[in-house]
Amino acid sequence: MSRTHWIALAATLALGCTETNESAGGGGAGGNPADGGVGGMGGAGGTDCVARLTFDPDPLVFPRDGTTGPREHTLTVHNNGDCAVPFESVTLTGSQAFQVRLDGRDPRRQPEVLVDPDGDGRAGLGAGRSANFKVLYTNPDNGAHVAELSLWAAGEARTVSLRGDADGRCLRAEPTALTFPPTGVGGGSVLPLTLRACGDAPVQIEALRFDGAPGFEAAGDPPREVPASGAPVELPISFRPRMEGALSGRLLVLSDDPLLPQLTVQLLGRANTPGCPQAVIAPLPEQVTAGTVVLLDGSLSQTDTGSIAAYEWTIIERPAGGTSAPVESYFNRNSPADGGRPDDVVTPQALFSPDLPGRYTVRLRVTDNLDVSSEDCGDATVSFLAVVDAGGRMQVQLVWRTPDDGDGTDLDLQLLHPQAGDPPDGALICDADNPTPDWGDAGPAHDPVLDVDDVDGGGPENIVVAQPQPTADLGAPYRLRVRYVADAAGSRPVVATVRLFAGGALVDER
């Protein structure tokens, strides 16, 4: 005998089978699992039978009673049909406040208890019989809890909703206590508090009250209603102490929650005499490549008063002739010499590109919201070394100063190809008029690039040749020239310095 079964899932779980006789050697009354038999139905050949499962109660509700201790309800599964139904497994999804038991055992961990759920000595839930599950509920936080219990039978699931303390108006706060960081007298700090409805009805907020030490208050307008959807309502709380010491208070949230009309949130804080803010610079590499961009980050700076109002970055040590300064952002990050937007002191970060090789020291000074500066207790500093690329790279730099003119003047650095004539051909000069010349078939690595140009000031100007050609092959050396560009005020004395680097090392300076 073989069985084919059908399944219809609606308000109840209906399982059916049609039994037919086969030749000798066919399956017995237990059914053949290979053809989907549900087993345990028995009966003569040609008999149609239906097994129909119902649950009582559905849903299963633990009414809100204000207690947190364990409670227990019976969930009865009825088989109202005329076929036995085999149980396969039980699952619980949702809140972990619920547990399920059958004959004192957890069917999720001990599924063998499901083999004979009604205790009649035969597999499955017999026709016309019932199985009693125990659902245990513990409310650890006096909130609302929802879960789903699913009973799997013959490959299909029947799901029952479990609800604990989820009826009516219910309000809870997250967290139930706020501990503020140490805060200076006269300063302030803010922590988030969330109100959430834990029932199936909206909660009206009637009033907020603070008692205990002064200095705790709502940061903004308090909400008037918390929706039943469970969506959070933010209620930020501020701590603005007026005296030193450890301070404590309470926030009382008055609402129309019938079981807990006064919700209490504990408030704790410590007030200190405001000291200097502490400037902190995030670690920097000990060595960087000149011309690259370095991130200066002061976001780890701290203050007792609540907030840092200004971050001031200053280069207090640099190679002679260097002029680059921190900026908020560069117009072209690949070409820092083009300049950028001035640093915004409100933001904790800045960008800096060392324009010359050598040692740099950066200082960070912070000011808090009470206008107290880290200068009184010591600013933060960090040093690093800027180097040029190693290898066969040749680099020429020009820096200058104009003693009689604080605004400086314009000098142009020129690098001449060894085969440039006199006067030289413009194509064989690298300068501001021809910053990226093509010097022949040897390849772009042998061509110079003017990558830093200063039209008015004190430099630097910088020309780089990645792979200079052997001058013995060219019959003459590279030549350097510095051109003075006079303005309307005429010529003024200028003190200029030219530096030559080879393979990252300074080899000459004049």
Look at residues 272, 305, 334 and tell me which one is the last residue of a structural domain: 272
- Rounded Cα gap, residues 454 and 408, in angstroms: 10
Is 261 part of any domain? yes
114 and 2 both lie in a single domain = yes
Cis peptide before 423 (omega within 30 of 0): yes
Residues 35 and 149 in one domain: yes
In a domain, 90, yes or no: yes
> Which residue stretches of the chain have pLDDT < 70?
1-51, 273-274, 305-306, 389-392, 406-407, 423, 441-442, 455-458, 487-490, 503-504
Identify the bridge partners of residue 496 per DSSP, sorted by sequence position: 400
Parallel/antiparallel/unpaired status of strands 287-289 and 145-153: unpaired
Q: Is residue 280 part of a domain?
A: no
The answer to whether residue 277 is domain-embedded is no
What CA–CA distance (Å, rounded) separates 300 from 286?
20
Question: Residue 415 has which token pair?
Answer: 């690098």
Note whether 214 and 242 are within 8 A (CB). Answer: yes
Beta strands at 262-272 and 245-255: parallel, antiparallel or unpaired: antiparallel
In this structure, is residue 279 part of a structural domain? Answer: no
Gap between the Cα atoms of 12 and 81, Å rounded = 11
CA dist., res. 224 & res. 226, Å (int)? 7
Report long-range pairs for 464-471 (Cβ below 8 Å, ≥24 apart): 464/393, 464/394, 464/395, 464/396, 465/393, 465/394, 465/395, 465/415, 466/391, 466/392, 466/393, 467/392, 467/393, 467/443, 468/392, 468/394, 469/418, 469/442, 471/418
The DSSP symbol for 470 reads P
Cβ neighbour number for residue 338 with a 10 Å cutoff: 12
Q: Clarify whether residues 15 and 153 are in a common domain.
A: yes
Look at residues 362, 387, 412 and tell me which one is the last residue of a structural domain. Answer: 387
Both 21 and 158 in a single domain?
yes
Residues 1 and 107 both lie in one domain: yes
Tokens of 7: 């399944």
Q: Structurally, how many domains does the chain consist of?
A: 4
For residue 34, the SS3 value is: helix
Residues 406 and 368 occupy one common structural domain: no
The first and second tokens of residue 395, run together, are 């680099």
- Given strand 410-416, what is the order of strands in its sheet? 429-430, 410-416, 479-485
Domain boundary among 229, 245, 272: 272
Cβ neighbours of residue 505 closer than 8 Å, sequence gap 6 or more: none
Neighbouring C-beta atoms of residue 120, cutoff 10 Å = 12
| CATH code: domain of residue 264 | 2.60.40.10
Contact in structure between 233 and 249 (CB atoms under 8 Å): no
Assess whether 382 and 399 both reside in one domain. no
> Is 282 a domain residue?
no
Q: Is residue 281 part of a domain?
A: no
Do 305 and 433 fall into the same domain? no
Cβ partners under 8 Å of residue 210, min gap 6: 216, 217, 249, 250, 251, 252, 267
Q: Cis (ω within 30 of 0) for the bond into 57?
A: yes
Residues 340, 456, single domain; the answer is no
Domain range for 349 = 287-387
pLDDT at 110: 95
Same domain, 147 and 84: yes
Give the predicted TM-score (pTM) of the model. Answer: 0.40
Whether residue 366 sits in one domain with residue 399: no
**Structural domain contains residue 408:** yes
- 464/82 Cα distance (integer angstroms): 94
How many Å apart are CA 84 and CA 21, to the nearest integer? 19
* Cα dist from 10 to 36, 82, 154, whole Å: 21, 18, 15
Q: Are residues 160 and 81 in the same domain?
A: yes
CA distance 339 to 335: 8
- Residue range 111-133, pLDDT digits in tens: 999 999 999 999 999 999 999 99
Strand 71-79 vs strand 130-137: parallel, antiparallel, or unpaired? antiparallel
d(CA 330, CA 351): 8
Among 419, 395, 430, CA closest to 502: 395
Q: Starting from the edge strand earliest in sequence, which strands make up the sheet with 130-137, in order?
A: 2-9, 13-20, 48-56, 71-79, 130-137, 98-101
Predicted local confidence at residue 192, as pLDDT: 94
**In this structure, how many other beta carbons lie within 10 angstroms of the beta carbon of residue 491?**
10
pLDDT for res 386 = 87
Rounded CA-CA distance 267/210 in Å is 9
